[in-house]
Every structure is written in C-alpha cells, then in structure tokens.
Amino acid sequence: MSVLAQGKIEQLFDRLNRSTELIQKAKDQSYLDSLIETLGFIQSDDDEDDEMAPADAKKLTNIYADFDADDYTAETFRKAIQMAVLKAIRVDTIQANYQLTPDTIANVIGYIISGIFHGKKELSILDPAMGTANLLTAIYHQLQTSIGVTPTISGIENDDAMFELAADSVELQKIHAELFHEDTIQNVLAPVVDVVVSDLPIGYYPIDDNAKGFATHSKTGHSYVHHLLIEFSMKHVKPGGFGFFLVPSQLFQTNEAKQLLKWMQGKVYLQGLLNLPKELFSNAAAQKAILILQNAGSGANQVDPVMLGEFPSFKDQQAFTKFLTEIDDWEQHDLL
C-alpha cells in the first residue's frame, strides 16, 4: 500500500474517531453505538442531533464541515471503518464473535477464489455470518482487482449492531449488496450462489427447535452453530460451487464431527483444509483453518489429493509465496 493511501485511511479514521468519541462522551454510551451513529451522521443530510447539547452538536458539525465522501475510495472507507471497529472492540471489551477477520486471511481466501474462478465473467458470493461485512467486502475488492469481476454479494447477520455497521460500511463503499438482518439458522430465504465465504462463529446454537431441521444437529443438547452454518451454506451453493470457511483446526476431531461427516457423504466434497499459521492465535486450541468444500454436481469430483497443509508464517515472504504456488498447482492440475 502506498504512503498516500495509508495517509488517507488514517485521515478518515481520525475523523471517524473524533466524532465517535464526541458522541460517546456527550451521550454516555458505548464507543460501538457511537460509531454507528457517526456512520449514520455522515450519510445523512441532517446536521442536527436533538439528543446532544447545542455546543456538542456544533462541534460534530464542525468535524465534518469540509468532509466529502467522494474524496475517499471504497477500500479507504473499508479500512478506516475496520480500524474504528477494532478500537470499539478494545474500548468496549466486546465479545470474541465481534473480532474482525484479519486482511491477511481475507487476502489468502480471495487469492484461492481468484485461482478457481479465473476467466469467469460473473460471480455471486454469500456470507451467512457476515458480522460487519469486512471479510465479504475485502474479497469483493480483491476479486475486482485480481480477475476483473465485480461480484454480486449477499450477507446475513442476526446481531443488531453488527448488521448496522455492515449496512453502513457497504453503503459508504457504494457496493450494491443484498443484506438480511435475520437468524441464519431460521432458514433465511437467501440466494443460491457460486461461492459461500464465512469466518464462522464457534460454539453452541441456543435454540434447539430451530436446529431440528438440520442433518448436522445434535441428537442431545445444543448443536454446534458452525456445523449448522456449513450445512446451510452448502445448501445455498450451486452444483459444483464452493464454500470457504474459517473453522477450528480440530473441526473433524470432535465427537460431533461424525454428524457433519455423515451429512457430507454424497453431497459435498472435502477438497482442502489449510491450517493458518500458529503465530496468529493465542494458543493451539484457538488455531483456525480454511476449509474448502465443493458441492457435488456440474462435473465436480472428489479431488485426489485433498489439499492439506499449514501456511508458513506470513512474515516469511519467500516460504509464503512458495506455498501459494503449491496451491496454484493444486488448483490447476488436481482441482479443476
């Protein structure tokens, strides 16, 4: 990234941060809620905020007196909002499921998708647990640059605050997207797409009745939400289409994995499981992997060999590039 581009991101973040802190102090509320109000404010034609003291409202107006959204690229908005969300997570000590997918990981997933869909004129992508839509929009921009395709994107999110952030972020990036503010496990009428991509929430889904219609649901007690989301996702992928999921590295080493594997048989091919570098995680139990699944149909076959491995450190550029070359060879000679 150029120094100029980085400077624009920091400049925009500074403005977002100053107005968010002003609203936070004036209304005595969380940084996250104040950030949502900030993003709403800069899209609104209304400069007034009746809930703030006139002096604070004037300060807010002054922060944006010379602001022009057209001065910033879509990627600048994405990255500045990403920085603001990261600050919200730190300041408000927000739960783990709010954590953002690092751009390094988004770039790797985007790279693999680019290799598989190179030469395609159209591409549709769904994220069934989009959070703030940072992963979805990062891949959107990457595919525009790498293979010259502007994907059609859709996302589902149940959490109110994350959905609002996603909607504002997509709007400010001027991306046309279909977003659903719903609980995915309640079987949202989402589109069927070429690719599903998601950094899956990990843990148990609390409403057992909603999970009963899923083959991956647990026979006793709560079901794993990440298993349910994988099943939902692949039902919304076209024949021969792909799912790319960030999952626990130990996904297939739990007792519950039997149900997941049973459901996959005859429907879904396990094409790859790539562990991310251990250095990215606080401990071995927290390590994640990129799971690559492909729906049966449309000429798809079980690849031999399945792409298994672990990424070298992202800091070791030579080893990292070599590993990407191995993925390229696998895609071209084995997968496609």
The residue to which tokens 């800091």 are assigned: 315
Among 140, 173, 176, which Cα is nearest to 69's?
173
Which two three-digit tokens encode residue 56? 């604070």
pLDDT value for 36:
96
Phi, psi of 306 (to 5 degrees): -65, 140
Band the pLDDT of 120: cuts 50, 70, 90. Answer: very high
| Whether 325 and 245 share a structural domain | yes
126 has pLDDT over 70: yes
pLDDT value for 140:
98
Domain boundary among 70, 92, 114: 92
Domain boundary among 92, 127, 142: 92
pLDDT value for 281:
86
**CATH number of the domain where residue 211 is located:** 3.40.50.150
| Whether 280 and 315 share a structural domain | yes
| Whether 107 and 77 share a structural domain | no
pLDDT value for 1:
64
* CB neighbour list of residue 143: distance below 8 Å, 6 or more residues apart: 110, 113, 114, 117, 123, 149, 150, 151
Q: Mean pLDDT throughout 294-320?
A: 93
| Whether 284 and 137 share a structural domain | yes
Q: Mean pLDDT throughout 151-156?
A: 98
The dihedral built from the CA positions of residue 237, 239, 242 and 248, taken in this order, carries a sign that is positive
| pLDDT, tens only, 36-66 | 999 999 998 766 666 789 999 999 999 999 9
% of the chain exceeding 70 in pLDDT: 97
Beta carbons within 10 angstroms of residue 305's beta carbon: 9
CA distance 292 to 178: 24
| Whether 124 and 165 share a structural domain | yes
| Whether 102 and 196 share a structural domain | yes
pLDDT value for 96:
66
**CATH number of the domain where residue 46 is located:** 1.10.150.470
pLDDT value for 97:
65
| Whether 63 and 127 share a structural domain | no
Residue 131, CA distances (Å) to 134, 140, 197, 226 in order: 8, 15, 12, 14
| Whether 225 and 169 share a structural domain | yes
| Whether 73 and 124 share a structural domain | no
Residue 290 sits in which domain range?
96-335
What average pLDDT does the chain have? 93
pLDDT value for 247:
97
% of the chain exceeding 90 in pLDDT: 84
Domain boundary among 33, 57, 92: 92
| Whether 294 and 159 share a structural domain | yes
pLDDT value for 313:
93
| Whether 135 and 263 share a structural domain | yes
pLDDT value for 52:
87
The dihedral built from the CA positions of residue 137, 233, 283 and 30, taken in this order, carries a sign that is positive
Domain total for the chain? 2
| Whether 147 and 293 share a structural domain | yes
